[in-house]
Structure 1
């Protein structure tokens, strides 16, 4: 039996495919939906509603940004607990046996066949859809910009996090540099920092490397503290702010 039934639809969603803007927005952790074949992975409803299953608010912010930037949005329709599309198949974090304080019984002791089934059902379609989109834009002589959108918890293992927005990058820091410079000019609306609360050493830049660095196109990962985007007003405020930073950042000479 496959991981997904026909009734559950495609694992990857593409919105505003005909967008004319440069930005491609990516949301790998958009949903907490689990394939019916996998049940609850042995987790409680509390756990499945929590940050371990998805990035609360990230998809809403990405959709608002897509409207403002006339950007195409690509997102995963199923929970990262089944497969985290910001990790390669060989990473233990792709199908985690433990996430923060929660054990994930349905991910314990997966054999290679089970791992391969999840990779083929969720990761490969996501990777291929994003790769096709990027390559088609490059072929049209309008090189895109990759922007991934995530959220993070205000408290991690009991330790409060002061940072509100993280601007993350791997070896290509051009867009991150430009956005942080724009944030500096705009003043201190949010506590915004480089490569916090995560950075490349945490293994979070897989999508940037796979689709940005590999194609020599500008890329950045955005992390938003999820208490800022717990309602529509917060989502819109953050989306407006981030879209403004992107527009200003992309106007810099090295990114035009």
Structure 2
């Protein structure tokens, strides 16, 4: 008789006891489809599951390297954004994507309200509960969210930025300070709220930073620049002092 092993927790935490006030997060760390979701297969091929539609390539490795460099804890999701997107509010219509960048997601086409609730209970809510607990470990937590973006969406113009900094109009303090630090680097093309706008009601930053009054920023790296461990570590080494300096800039203003 075949014994089905239970799926692991829908998140991974590293360095929970590290002392820095930063919390480094990765909402789209993996393309894993849990076995109890469509039998572990959403019905799209390996090539599509390796694309940015299923996760943020390179972001997990950058998150781990950056957290280590900052001496900070990290939390990473452990399920594909196509299963359910932890960087969306529970009432967001894109929470379960049925079409993404030209690819139909068969495993989501028949997902009804009951299936949506099951994925919320089994994956999304446990991830956010763990995230909230980790963020609450100290009163001055600073959330650093790591994502990556593809150099070009299908049918769209190439994206020129190497790094983008995203923020909400509700609190752009740390992000604007970080943008200024990055723009001072002579070899970087920096996206100011590019390639996306940085505020979605109910998204992870909204839930865990904006509503709590925590300093925060969301960093997007172009995924071809962080394709291997060496590149991820190089970017972590470059970003860490700029993040620290940006926070110093903000606190020096008494913000």
TM-score by length of structure 1 reads 0.91
Q: Does 1:102 align with 2:99?
A: no
- Which residue does 1:86 correspond to in 2? 87
Displacement of 1:183 in angstroms is 1.8
Q: Secondary structure at the match of 1:87?
A: coil
Q: Work out the number of aligned pairs and report it.
A: 246
- Which residue does 1:20 correspond to in 2? 19
Runs (4+) of structure 1 exceeding 6 A deviation are none
The aligned runs of 1:4-43 (5 Å cut-off) are 7-37=6-36, 38=38, 39-43=40-44
- Compute the RMSD of aligned alpha carbons: 1.7
Query: 145-154 or 204-213: which moved more?
Result: 204-213
Query: 243-252 or 217-226: which moved more?
Result: 243-252
Judged with a 3 Å threshold, the aligned counterparts in structure 2 of structure 1 residues 255 and 162 are, in CA distance, closer, same or farther, namely: farther
Return 5+ residue gaps in structure 2 as ranges: none
Aligned partners of 1:255, 1:20: CA distance in 2, in Å? Answer: 23
Aligned partners of 2:86, 2:242: CA distance in 1, in Å? Answer: 26
Aligned partners of 2:188, 2:202: CA distance in 1, in Å? Answer: 23
More helix by share: 1
Judged with a 3 Å threshold, the aligned counterparts in structure 2 of structure 1 residues 134 and 254 are, in CA distance, closer, same or farther, namely: farther
Query: 227-236 or 100-109: which moved more?
Result: 227-236
Displacement of 1:6 in angstroms is 5.7
Q: Secondary structure at the match of 2:81?
A: coil
The aligned runs of 1:134-149 (5 Å cut-off) are 134-138=135-139, 143-149=140-146
Per-residue Cα deviation, 1:154-186 (whole angstroms, up to 9, x for no partner):
01123211011010001211111111121233x
Aligned partners of 2:100, 2:166: CA distance in 1, in Å? Answer: 21
Q: Does 1:162 align with 2:160?
A: yes
The answer to whether the 8 Å contact 2:89/2:201 transfers is: no
Aligned partners of 1:168, 1:150: CA distance in 2, in Å? Answer: 10
Displacement of 1:255 in angstroms is 6.6
Residue of structure 1 aligned with 2:227, choices 225, 230, 243: 230
Aligned partners of 1:204, 1:77: CA distance in 2, in Å? Answer: 23
Displacement of 1:108 in angstroms is 0.8
The aligned runs of 1:1-256 (5 Å cut-off) are 7-37=6-36, 38=38, 39-138=40-139, 143-158=140-155, 159-170=157-168, 171-185=170-184, 187-200=185-198, 203=200, 206-252=203-249, 253-254=252-253
Aligned partners of 2:232, 2:188: CA distance in 1, in Å? Answer: 14
Judged with a 3 Å threshold, the aligned counterparts in structure 2 of structure 1 residues 184 and 200 are, in CA distance, closer, same or farther, namely: closer
Displacement of 1:99 in angstroms is 1.0
Aligned partners of 1:222, 1:120: CA distance in 2, in Å? Answer: 28
Displacement of 1:254 in angstroms is 3.7
TM-score by length of structure 2 reads 0.91
